[in-house]
Structure 1
Amino acid sequence: MGYRVAVVGATGAVGREILKTLHEREFPVDEIVALASPRSAGREVSFGDRTLKVQNLETFDFTGWDVALFSPGASVSAIHGPRAAKAGCIVIDNTSHFRMEPDVPLVVPEVNPNDLKKAKRGIVANPNCSTIQMVVALKPLHDLFTAKRVVVATYQAVAGAGKDGMDELFAQTKGTFVNDPPKIEQFQKQIAFNCIPQIDRFMDDGATKEEWKMTVETKKILDPEIQVLATCVRVPVFIGHSEAVVVEFEEPVDLRKAREALREAEGVVLLDEREDGGYVTPIECVGEDATYVSRLRIDPTVPNGLAFWCVSDNLRKGAALNAVQIAETMIALDLLPHRN
């Protein structure tokens, strides 16, 4: 027996990826509905070889639906997430709205699956895309050596800003070759052939909101004692986030054991050859489920230091896949009962 599943924000990049991921992973669906804003109602989206007509989120009744995977934007989730949960539907939310609420678990299934048992409000939060891939790579190393400080620089694809961000990179890149002046709307500066060291707004301490998210989310998911310093950069890549991570551990680092732990870790692929091209780049991770780790090496500048490079498809593991895996894990833990 399958589940009645709602996909909220179904016309967006993440919503479409959720539909694709549900079908590819053969999630046990008895009935599925695509929901979006009133202006998108009536549009069509694909679910495998089926075409779904998008329904109006604002008038949709969640009563009798088992699980809703949300990716409509934080302000929309703030209104309709609790409404769906009150109707008895488990909400898995991709936006930032619920992440730091103490009674809402923030979950990466490979890292902290048992936190799903704390979903007393019927809402589970999906972490930020850059946080997800980092904690997936950190988890096996933290279990071995106990991470105490992380310094990370991210190289984040424009897909993190949605379809409009991808369109802006495409338009600016094309315009460069025909001498059109760049039209800047989605980002703070020209993104084509450029890097922008700002994602989200600046906070009082000089960090951006994206950098703050990586700090507080890593603490909530992995260990409240870990110190994190992040510098988040938008780069002219369509899909696939990259991160250069330096970790200082409590215990001495054994590089051989670190490699073994990463090779065996769920959700991680270690591809680290010390030769030209012996690493994974963002374009190679598109459409893949794993977080790829490369350039693993000792950091000699601090006690017990280790450095690595990791890449992941931010629309899949960074959003859609993680949300679907949360639903799958809830089924495995008997936390997603049929409500119809």
Structure 2
Amino acid sequence: MGYKVAVVGATGNVGREMLNILAEREFPIDEIAALASSRSTGDMIPFGETDRELKVRNVEHFDFTGWDMALFAAGSGPTKIYAPKAADAGCVVIDNSSLYRMEPDVPLIVPEVNPDAIDGYKKRNIIANPNCSTAQMVVALKPLHDLATIKRVVVSTYQSVSGAGKEGMDELFEQTRAIFVGDPKETRKFTKQIAFNVIPHIDVFLEDGSTKEEWKMVAETHKILDPAIGVTATCVRVPVFVGHSEAINIEFENPISAEEAQDVLRTAPGIMLVDKREDGGYVTPIECVGEYATFVSRVRKDPTVAHGISLWCVSDNLRKGAALNAVQIAELLGRRHLRKA
């Protein structure tokens, strides 16, 4: 027997990716519903790489009673309206927005890092998916933390425009084209030109000078991995369509060598170590697109602290940073709590 699964926000970048990954991983489904706003009602969207298509249904009129899980990729506004309705109807919500992440009674899950935390989902019938940049980082940090206890993390992100949705991808394409043909460059989604540029600003600014994206990386790492770890982040938008990259510097409580770090990362779940000290012996964003793994490269000793390691981390943000992690949560939920004979 399979599950009855709804995908809310099915017509967006992440929603479509959720449908693709559910099909790719052969998630046990008896019935699947693609839900979106009234603007998309009646549209047909593909379900995986088969000829099967789904007719989009209006989330406003959908009854979640009798459905097992709802994967939300609709943003905080619609989620605030429809997630409680689904949860109250007995349908477990797996939410990709930031709405519930820091709620103390809502588990924030990366299955390779804190799977046991999912047991707390029954308090609200809601499980939160972390921020895309946090998700890949904690996958890389977890085995290292278990080995030598992380004291402090300094991370700089290089985040693709797909993290800002279709509008961000369109803006990069349109500005790049405009530069080559001599047309005016319009800025709508981003605060400055993104084509051939980098922007050290994602989400709103906070009183201390950090941005909300940077705050998310700190707060979510504390909730998922360990509140004792010091974290500081600088989050930057770069002119890449898909794939987030991170330069991570880690200070440990205990001694650790680059070779020991490589060894533990090589066998850690969810990680692909590609670390040859030669031209091209590392992974870049374009190479991670469509992949499940979080790729780690450039593992090396940091000589400026007693016990330090620096590394480079890359992942498909639409997958591990969003859709894949949500489906992995659904798989974990099924194994631990919603088993079907």
Q: TM-score, normalised by structure 1?
A: 0.98
- The reply on whether 1:180 has 2:183 as its aligned counterpart is yes
In the alignment, what sits opposite 2:306? 303
Write the letter of the residue equivalent to 2:45: V
DSSP-derived class of the 2:53 partner:
strand
Q: Which residue of 1 aligns with 2:14?
A: 14
Q: 1:38 maps to which residue?
A: 38
Helix, strand or coil at the partner of 1:295: strand
C-alpha deviation, 1:79, in angstroms: 1.3
Q: 1:149 aligns with which of 128, 149, 152?
A: 152
Identity of aligned residues (%): 68
Q: Are the counterparts in 2 of residues 246 and 308 from structure 1 also a CA contact under 8 Å?
A: yes
Paired with 2:259 and 2:154, the residues of 1 have a C-alpha distance of: 22
Q: C-alpha separation between the residues in 1 aligned to 2:202 and 2:338?
A: 35
Deviations 1:169-220 (A, max 9, x none): 0000011011111110110100000000000000000000000000000000
Matches within 5 A, 1:119-130: 119=121, 120-130=123-133
**Letter of the aligned partner of 1:103 in structure 2?**
D
Distance 2:83 2:171 in 1: 30
SS state at 1:72 partner: coil
Between the aligned partners of 1:255 and 1:171, the Cα distance in structure 2 is: 43
Residue in structure 2 matching 1:206, options 206, 209, 217: 209
Instruction: State the distance in 2 between where 1:121 and 1:250 align.
Output: 36
Q: Deviations over 1:94-125 (max 9, x none)?
A: 00000000000000000000000011211000
Amino acid at match of 1:246: N
Which deviates further from its counterpart, 250-259 or 210-219? 250-259
Indicate the residue corresponding to 2:230 in structure 1: 227
Q: 1:69 aligns with which of 59, 71, 93?
A: 71
Could you tell me which of 240, 244, 249 is aligned with 1:241? Answer: 244
CA distance in 1 between partners of 2:162 and 2:203 (Å): 14
Alignment counterpart, residue 274 of structure 2, candidates 271, 275, 284: 271
Deviation at 1:337, TM superposition (A): 5.2
Please give the alpha-carbon distance, in whole angstroms, between the structure 2 residues aligned to 1:307 and 1:3: 42
| Residue type at the aligned position of 1:95 | S
How many residues align? The count is 337
- Decide which of 98, 101, 108 is 1:99's aligned counterpart: 101
| Structure 1 residue ranges without an equivalent (≥5) | none
Distance, in Å, in 2 between the alignment partners of 1:218 and 1:188 is 27
In structure 1, distance between residues paired with 2:194 and 2:236: 11
Inter-partner Cα distance in structure 2 for 1:257 and 1:305: 12
Bigger Cα displacement from structure 2, 252-261 vs 73-82: 252-261
Q: Give yes or no for the alignment of 1:255 onto 2:258.
A: yes
What is the TM-score normalised by the length of structure 2?
Answer: 0.98
Q: Judge conservation of contact 1:90–1:336 (CA < 8 Å) in 2.
A: no
3-state SS, counterpart of residue 39 of structure 2: helix
The offset of 1:54, in angstroms, is 0.6
